[in-house]
Amino acid sequence: MTLAIFDLDNTLLGGDSDYLWGKYLVAEGLVDGPFYERENQRFYDEYRSGRLDIHEFLDFSLRPLAEIPTAQLLVLRERFMREQIEPIMLPAARKLLDHHRQRGHLLLIITATNQFVTAPIAAALGVEHLLATDPEMINGRYTGRVAGTPTFREGKVKRITEWLQQHGHNLADAWFYSDSHNDLPLLELVPNPVAVDPDDTLRVHAEAKGWPVISLR
């Protein structure tokens, strides 16, 4: 079966859910506002420039999951979905997902953003298969640490390779849609890479390679 693989932030969404979650925690007064907002912006800028230390970022971004009670987190996430995510869900992205469904393709979202934030987004988009960075949970509470390999850069290749082996699929005829040069390791691996509203680095690379460049905005 042909796989249609999608990055999430700034690809299927008209924004970055990880960054917005950080800003939401600040707005709700649940983290040290000035410090958290400054660091959240720094990490986002480093991601966009290709300089992000993913483990340093995860130490920062997963800590509130450990510090806020799980029941409160779930209520927060529901409001976050309604107030921050639904407004940036792109109609053209839904049409693209439907296009691949109608062709009988198997849809999968792969994102560096953690599973807690992204699971309800994938569900809202009707995509059953999600590979995201997994926050560690012990005895029903998040620890603030990451479990396994983060789905970032080469980590996306590692995680999807493991997923393919587990599910008996392969990347023959696979598609991958992304906005970010951080996804070049996986884009280079699939037969059908597509740059979606790409950053400048990815746009130059895609044009040099003759890859399709599309917009969902």
CATH of residue 89's domain is: 3.40.50.1000
Contact 154, 185 (CB under 8 A): yes
Catalytic-labelled residue, pool 7, 16, 18, 199 = 7
**Count: domains in the chain:** 1
7 is catalytic: yes
How confident is the model over 116-161, as pLDDT tens digits? 999 999 999 999 999 999 999 999 899 999 999 999 999 999 999 9
Q: Residue 11: what pLDDT?
A: 98
Torsion of CA 176, 181, 184, 186, to 10 degrees: -40
> In degrees, to the nearest 5, what angle opens at C-alpha 167 toward C-alphas 18 and 98?
60
Rounded distance between C-alpha atoms, residue 91 and residue 84, angstroms:
16
**pLDDT number for residue 213:** 98
pLDDT at 191: 98
For the chain, count helices (H), then strands (E): 10, 7
The per-residue pLDDT for range 34-84, each reduced to its tens digit, is: 999 999 999 999 999 999 999 999 999 999 999 999 999 999 999 999 999
| Side chain identity, residue 191 | P
Global pTM reads 0.96
- Give the domain range for residue 90: 3-214
Q: Among this protein's residues, is 179 annotated catalytic? A: no
